[in-house]
Structure 1
């Protein structure tokens, strides 16, 4: 059973609360004087408030303080904590301060200090026989503080969500315009986001989270949570400067690449994002001027496809990491000739399988044999057959390189994703 001081019996429960032989609200009734003293205390004794503009302290905060003092006085007179409908001004102020970037901790500390000061004024004249009244006053003030804290926090967070959503929408609009080659200073001013001279154009792929494969969990919900974690990390890592068009599978990011920028996409940055998203991430990056963003985005996604086709592990890749693969995609007689080197193996699926496993296992016969559930001698026999049919000798470094390139060219040509 819970106990409240409001449950204490009192002969005057329907009348104003009295402390020291007079209504408890009396010390608060001169709201102008009390509000002035409180705001002066905030300005001189609370470090966070010292950074607020003077006009804000003298204007908005003083006005709100007077209003809150009126609520407290009425609360003592009626012995009833203000309802939600009476805290509208408190919520509006919290939303405004959220838009202005005033820290929530500063706002809540101000209210807590104000309650402490008001409580001190109300209880200062208390006498020995006022114990019951003091208990009621204490409970009222604690319930008031709880109501105000909840109202402020809810309004502040709601406004922050709204601001974040507006910024995200503006960022997505600008990103779409830049990716389609329609970026302009007018659009940037409208979105409130400056356009950089150069960007890292990033093609990003998100792996599935284990929860997405768990039959007990809604896969769509798990995927959206993964994306929200990533978006939150992006805002932190890149200080809300990255422009992103992302889905639960991946997408495109534009990261300002001005000289001296610390927040750029690096292998370490991608690792931080992957840790936050709780899934492996694969990304390719191409740096270009703003006017070349559409072409760079196409190139970045082409490189990302090469990473997938090549069966490469998650991580960050640049053009230099995929130069051979990228050149093979350009087509031409040489590429087609390389792709046909393995045609004699078409009728021998086990030889294709052995070649892929052998290369994937870093030319280790024992591992390859265990993976294929055959004897190592069988692996040796199949490697000799490959050499007889294709002239590719996997016992030499030249043959290994030729096999890897031929497999890649073949996979790119057929569009089949295989692991080398």
Structure 2
């Protein structure tokens, strides 16, 4: 098939990169919802599906073969993802129409009168492809929306609510509880695209959550029970036996990579009856980890055992914090003390972290010892100093994550 004296399929395939950029620009210029999409998504998912669709049309013309359902699998998957992100169906269909129209303009430019039969054949194949795309995309989008709506109000939601509340789990319908659950609390950092104005921020939040859920679902081999919002939430992963801790750490790392944000999480493997207390504890651990400035990742109680115990409300908590009262209003001394302990009492490492001379570190440590009577150089004092710092953090920042993640 030749139009304007050139093979249509080969010409169209050669123009795919330029046409992709043109189509994406038109989408952002003509469809408000695409103009509000995060830049990461436009340059990634959207540009990829545009390019794939253009190559599909080029193949259909060059090889004069119909497009199959298998060929349209990526368009169906893309439509399902857009449904989960809340992109309207009419915007998705309009995007495909823009792409087809630009593609048609490209291949028919300069057509000669004697090429009318090839033009007619190309037109017919274009219309057939547009019909197939509209059908496949609409069906996949509506199916995804139906599943989402069903899950929101269906059995899994009810099971999750019952597990978290400690309600009886004997139910005639719906999913049965697993033998064990990985009870997990997750705190998700904010993705840069969530800070943008307009509906794009909401789309970015939903995309982040969807990607985290997708990783969790692949781990369990079935949909995980989740209650996630943009700052994080709770996940219950059904398992038949306790997974190795390293696998759970890798799981959180994969979820963070997929979502493009840091994730701080805590987990415990428990029977269904112990889920409420486990979630309360993992929420407290995440709160503690974030307040004490630890790195993102997955934690368990044994990782923060001392800090966890020392941060529990007790009559001793205020007294412990009060050991550092004499330097309360000297933030440079407190910061030096925390950094000094974090660097294992290494004066040079502490000085490098604080951007001061090692002699300055020595001077400040002596000042702390003079004012408080506690010296990091004495093992017995060091235990009291560490406990006092933990108590200070517990009293400075009251637990707020419980309300966010329950």
Q: TM-score, normalising length from structure 1?
A: 0.59
Q: Which residue of 1 aligns with 2:326?
A: 344
Contact residue 310 and residue 391 of structure 2 kept, 8 A: yes
Query: Residue 363 in 1 paired to residue 363 in 2?
Result: no
Following TM superposition, by how much is the alpha carbon of 1:308 offset from its aligned partner in structure 2, in angstroms?
Answer: 1.5
Alignment of 1:236-385 (within 5 A): 236-259=218-241, 266-385=248-367
The CA deviation at 1:142 is: 6.6
Aligned 8 A contact 2:189 2:231 in 1:
yes
Distance 1:301 1:369 in 2: 35
Could you say which residue in structure 2 is the equivalent of 1:176? 161
Instruction: Tell me the distance in 2 between the aligned counterparts of 1:134 and 1:237.
Output: 51
Q: For 1:186, what is the secondary structure of its paired residue?
A: coil
1:12-59 Cα distance to aligned partner (Å, 9 max, x none)? xxxxxxxxxxxxxxxxxxxxxxxxxxxxxxxxxxxxxxxxxxxxxxxx
Q: What's 2:151 paired with?
A: 167
Whole-angstrom distance in 2 between the partners of 1:393 and 1:263: 37
1:303-344, Cα deviation, whole Å (9 max, x unpaired): 111112211110111111111122113333444442222122
The correspondence for 2:131, drawn from 137, 147, 151, is 147
Aligned in 2, Cα 1:375/1:213: closer, same or farther, shift over 3 Å? farther
**Structure 2 residue aligned with 1:211:** 193
Compare CA radii of gyration and give the structure with the larger one. 1
CA-CA distance at 1:209 after TM superposition: 1.6
The structure showing larger relative contact order (alpha-carbon pairs under 8 Å, at least 6 residues apart) is: 2
Deviations 1:173-198 (A, max 9, x none): 321222112252327x2xx3221132
Deviation of the 1:203 alpha carbon: 0.9
Q: CA deviation at 1:260?
A: 7.0
Unaligned runs of 5+ in 2: 5-75, 81-115, 400-406
- How many correspondences in the alignment? 289
Residue number among 363, 369, 372 corresponding to 1:390 in the alignment: 372
Listed one character per residue, the Cα deviations across residues 385-414 of structure 1 (whole Å, up to 9, x for unaligned) are 212232322235554443222101121133
Q: Give TM-score, length-normalised by structure 2.
A: 0.61
Residue correspondence of structure 1 range 27-106 to structure 2 within 5 A: none
Q: Which runs of 5+ in 1 are unaligned?
A: 5-93, 99-131
Cα 1:3–1:137 change in 2 (3 A) is closer
Q: Is the 8 A contact 1:211 1:217 kept in 2?
A: no
Partner residue, 2:171: 186
Inter-CA distance 179–383: structure 2 relative to 1 (3 Å threshold): same
1:278 shift after superposition:
0.7
SS at match of 1:259: coil
CA 1:163–1:265: 2 relative to 1, 3 Å: farther
CA contact (8 A) 2:215 2:251 kept: no
Asked if structure 1 preserves the Cα contact closer than 8 Å seen for 2:185 and 2:266, the reply is yes
The Cα RMSD (Å) is 3.6
Deviation at 1:206, TM superposition (A): 0.3
Q: Is the 8 A contact 1:181 1:294 kept in 2?
A: yes
Per-residue deviation, 1:291? 1.7
- Per-residue CA deviation, residues 222-254 of structure 1 (Å, 9 max, x unaligned), is 333322322233333333331000110011111
Secondary structure, in 3 states, of the residue corresponding to 2:171? helix
